Amino acid sequence: MKYTFALCFLMIMAALDANAQPKPGATLLITNAAIYTVDNQHPRAEAVAVIGDRIVAVGSKPEIDSWRGPQTEVIDAGGKLLLPGFNDAHLHFIQGGAQLEQVNLVDAATPEEFAKRIAAQAAKTPKGEWILGGRWDETKWAKPELPTKDLVDPVTRDTPIFVERYDGHEALANSAAMKLAGINAKTADVPGGVIVRDSSGNPTGIFKDAAQELIYKAIPAMSHDQRLRAARGALKHAASLGVTSVQHMNPEFADVAAYSELAEKGELTTRIYAVPMETNWQDQAKVGIRHAWGSSYLRLGGVKGYADGSLGSRTAYMFEPFADEPGNRGLLSDEMHPPSGMRDRLMQADAAGLQIRVHAIGDRAISMMLDIFGEIEKEHGYHDQRFAIEHAQHMALKDFDRFAKLHVIASMQPYHAIDDGRWAEKRLGHDRARYSYAWRSFLDHGATLAFGTDWPVAPLNPMLGLYAAVTRATLDGKNPDGWIPEEKITLPEAVGAYTMGSAFAEFQEREKGSITPGKLADMVILSHNIFELKPEAIRNVKADTTILGGKVVYRGR
């Protein structure tokens, strides 16, 4: 990777030398564009020149026209906005691709619609296969109660189902699924998880956090061909949205194998940083893999952990009980039983040179992880570890300064705020919600923000994330001026978090994240200039053309 950059740099210098031969012809010119570079040294431009997969010049239209050669491909942007390609700092890429073909319960607005869609899926599911996917949200129902097996048993019969809540921290199984998994009233709860039961002690079908594994162990693993199909679907979807890089949290190594095959075939149209579970940190360390190891298309070198659950499932780990469930402070994950076990594994992973990224949503879980990060830095010293708290949703005021002091990245997903903001104060109360999804506070305290979506938990579309970051207008329409408006950020700040911030989170800020000479030519032309629109219109903007490494990978109609 360093040699590629060095050769590109020498080429640029030679071209600018007055005594050198004439400039080599660019392989691609994008001209007549409104370019927002996300490069503070040169924030605006009109045109960009590319040779191979690298940007060689950015400037005015006449300046860049001099790079035109007989074989140069020219894209006239027609005055449209050109941005660096979006980099999703936190998602589950294979699962998202699979979800595109699975039952969709995201907008099932009633229990009846929920059951109807399950019935339709059951009718076309071959015998012996499972119904998966879902992403349901009971808070959208008139009576927001969790679904049970009794809702779906009549329409599924012998077809096993396990459909996730949209946050991924609880899921519904029917009786057929529980039978296959050997689950009954005598089955004990597991550390970091809950089997929801009725008044007689029988499982209702809802499994929270670590308890979900009791069902997952009975589900046949995806085949390699299924993974390839899911990956190809995800790649196509990402390209259509202007997403040129993704950071896949807790993939299976079988997912990485699928990506590797696609990379070998030249089919990766999105760059992937795969970050497997911290419980398996030795798998990377024993072969000497360190942070951000690999090619520009596929890299490893990080580990991902879970400290707690989610707010929606009331399993986020909090200092104080939930306002709507006074006896419940949430759950620590199974990885945190005991917390010293998590500390020891992460200490060893850091010593091996692996990046550490941990899911923590509740204020107490976040605080505990900062404690562990502090212990690691005290033991090993600061060496540009780039620790990341994934989600960092509900903060204790005392902990903002610790993010900057410990160089911890706040890897956040703006869409969650406008979704969860519909009901979050019911869980937390008004005062405790003040520092929820606190992007402004993080920036003001000197922390680095990296934006993503958590797809398929939330839509992959970065326009929805930008819209959420600058408006905080909840999806129910009840907060048009913004829920906790003090935490809004500006559009340039949001775009920066989705590009340079995310690149920094994966040690790639010198390779991508801005439209700068020497960097990878990953860019997107948008249908409208988001800097000229009213904030509420940003969510309707589309990707017009997506470019990866100087090649067009998507053209809109």
What single-letter DSSP state applies at residue 161? B
What number of CA atoms fall less than 13 Å from residue 300's CA on the CB side? 22
Domains of the chain: 1-85+514-557 (2.30.40.10), 94-216 (3.10.310.70)
pTM of the complete model:
0.90
Beta bridge partners of residue 203, listed in sequence order: 197
Taking only the tens of pLDDT, the chain with its 557 residues reads 444 444 444 444 444 444 445 678 999 999 999 999 999 999 999 999 999 999 999 999 999 999 999 999 999 999 999 999 999 999 999 999 999 999 999 889 999 999 999 999 999 999 989 999 998 999 999 999 999 999 999 999 999 999 999 888 899 999 999 999 999 999 999 999 999 999 999 999 999 999 999 999 999 999 999 999 999 999 999 999 999 999 999 999 999 999 999 999 999 999 999 999 999 999 999 999 999 999 999 999 999 999 999 999 999 999 999 999 999 999 999 999 999 999 999 999 999 999 999 999 999 999 999 999 999 999 999 999 999 999 999 999 999 999 999 999 999 999 999 999 999 999 999 999 999 999 999 999 999 999 999 999 999 999 999 999 999 999 999 999 999 999 999 999 999 999 999 999 999 999 999 999 999 999 999 999 999 999 999 999 999 999 999 999 999 97
Q: What is the pLDDT of residue 21?
A: 54
Q: For residue 438, give the amino acid letter.
A: A
Alpha-carbon distance of 457 to 416, in angstroms, equals 9
Q: What is the pLDDT of residue 168?
A: 87
Alpha-carbon distance of 488 to 485, in angstroms, equals 5
Alpha-carbon distance of 316 to 331, in angstroms, equals 6
Alpha-carbon distance of 280 to 69, in angstroms, equals 51
What single-letter DSSP state applies at residue 434? G
What single-letter DSSP state applies at residue 102? S
50 neighbors 527 (Cβ within 8 angstroms) = no
3-state secondary structure of 9: helix
Alpha-carbon distance of 408 to 370, in angstroms, equals 8
Tokens linked to 483: 């829920």
Q: What is the pLDDT of residue 7?
A: 45
Classify strands 243-249 and 86-91 as parallel, antiparallel or unpaired: parallel
Q: What is the pLDDT of residue 23?
A: 77
Q: How far apart are the first and last CA of the chain?
A: 35
C-alpha angle 311-476-118 in degrees, rounded to nearest 5? 70
> Which position has the token pair 């990866």?
548
Q: What is the pLDDT of residue 32?
A: 98
CA dist 498 → 145, 283, 436, 493 (Å): 35, 30, 19, 9
153 neighbors 122 (Cβ within 8 angstroms) = no
- For every residue of 244-311, DSSP letters joined together read EEEEEES--HHHHHHHHHHHHTT---SEEEEE-BGGGHHHHHTTT--TTEE-SSEEE-EEEEE-B--T
**Cβ atoms within 10 Å, residue 138:** 18
* CB neighbour list of residue 244: distance below 8 Å, 6 or more residues apart: 85, 86, 87, 238, 270, 271, 512, 522, 523, 524, 546, 547, 548
548 neighbors 522 (Cβ within 8 angstroms) = yes
